Amino acid sequence: MKQARPLIVRALSNETVERPPVWFMRQAGRYLPEYRALRAEHSFLTMCHSPELAAEVTLQPLRRYPFDAGIVFSDILLPLECMGAELEYVPGTGPIIRNPVRTAADVAALKPFDPLRDLPSPMETIRICTQEADVPILGFAGAPFTMACYMIDGQGSRNWPETKRMMFGQPKVFQALLDRLADAVGDHLQAQVDAGAVGVQLFDTWAGALSPDDFRRWALPASRRALARVSGAPRMFFTKDSAPFLPWLKALEADAYALDWRVDIGAARKLLGDVAVQGNMDPMALHAPHDEIRRRVRKIIAAAGPKGHIFNLGHGLTPDIDPQAVGVAVDEVCGWSWS
């Protein structure tokens, strides 16, 4: 039965709810044997670009667990391909861009991104899943700074040396790239809302690599620009290692802030003000004994309070996590009652 105003929408709207809604970042993925079985037959990109397959993967965790939302199966880097990046997913290495952006000419040569024309599969996947699932579906995109990191360095990195070389050495070129990406990902989020996503999350996974000054100078205004293009559904903002940035996050004007596990969620709420929060269990805590998982879930819920909290992990589920442990955590959240 579909609810008129789903729990997740009420919590994202910062309302007081009977228990926190729960979904997990990377809830569709390699920790699930049914994902690995499908993945053995198709490449990751094929799965992302085939709405029927992407819908199947989106629905897999929803069949196993009583999650309060699905997240569309896709990847943050797909719009970069549409803009001209030669993107590959190399097993063991992760995503690689063979033609990284390094100069003003490279930025000028990027193609405009029109989500409906260039990348229709996430929207079609959202439509299918909205029909088939009992719970609402969330959309997402990568934040401009995090997208720029992959575009410039060309692959995952701890320090993002090429990105920072451009940021410090060619600030105008870097700004032009962020502006292009902000508009692209903002439009991508809006297209997903228009397709039926009840909320959208912007992932600024690597903004934690910035000093607080550089975060405020570069990543924050770029994400604000992206989020400002989106209306009609709550907008969540996620960044890892965000503790030093908490006093400034409000300026993003997001509807909810997703926190990693390095902050106390109650203390973070005091710094953020009266806004919804999401999080923030250490994904590796799912390796703890089951009673310890349950204890940690309860501690986070109690610290966050009854108003506007969405239970989630502080980062995505990883392939090493036991599907049974995921069930234990979700069960504990669903058993909570504030009344």
Q: Known catalytic residues?
A: 26, 30, 39, 75, 150
Residue number with CB closer to ligand CP3 (69 or 297): 69
Residue 145 CA to residue 150 CA, distance in Å, equals 9
The minimum distance between CB 137 and ligand CP3, in angstroms, equals 11
Q: Report DSSP letters for 183-233, one per residue.
A: HHHHHHHHHHHHTT-SEEEEEETTGGGS-HHHIIIIIHHHHHHHHHT--SS
Determine, following the binding rule CB under 6 A, whether residue 279 of this chain makes contact with ligand CP3. Answer: no
Q: 281: closest CA among 324, 257, 313, 310?
A: 313
Determine, following the binding rule CB under 6 A, whether residue 326 of this chain makes contact with ligand CP3. Answer: no
Among 10, 26, 102, 298, binds ligand CP3 (CB under 6 A): 26
Which amino acid would we find at residue 337?
S
Q: Are 37 and 105 in contact (CB under 8 A)?
A: no
Q: Report DSSP letters for 67-125, one per residue.
A: -S-EE-S--TTHHHHHTT--EEEETTTEEEESS---SHHHHHTPPP--HHHH--HHHHH
Among 65, 67, 113, 140, binds ligand CP3 (CB under 6 A): 140
Site residues for ligand CP3, 42-101, by CB under 6 A, read 44, 71, 73-77, 89, 94-95
Among 13, 14, 15, 39, binds ligand CP3 (CB under 6 A): 39
Determine, following the binding rule CB under 6 A, whether residue 25 of this chain makes contact with ligand CP3. Answer: yes
Residue 277 CA to residue 11 CA, distance in Å, equals 9
Residue number with CB closer to ligand CP3 (306 or 317): 317
Site residues for ligand CP3, 184-213, by CB under 6 A, read 203, 205
Site residues for ligand CP3, 209-268, by CB under 6 A, read none
Q: Report DSSP letters for 129-149, one per residue.
A: HHHH-SS-EEEEEE-HHHHHH
Site residues for ligand CP3, 112-131, by CB under 6 A, read none
List residues binding ligand CP3 (CB under 6 A): 25-30, 39, 44, 71, 73-77, 89, 94-95, 140, 156, 203, 205, 316
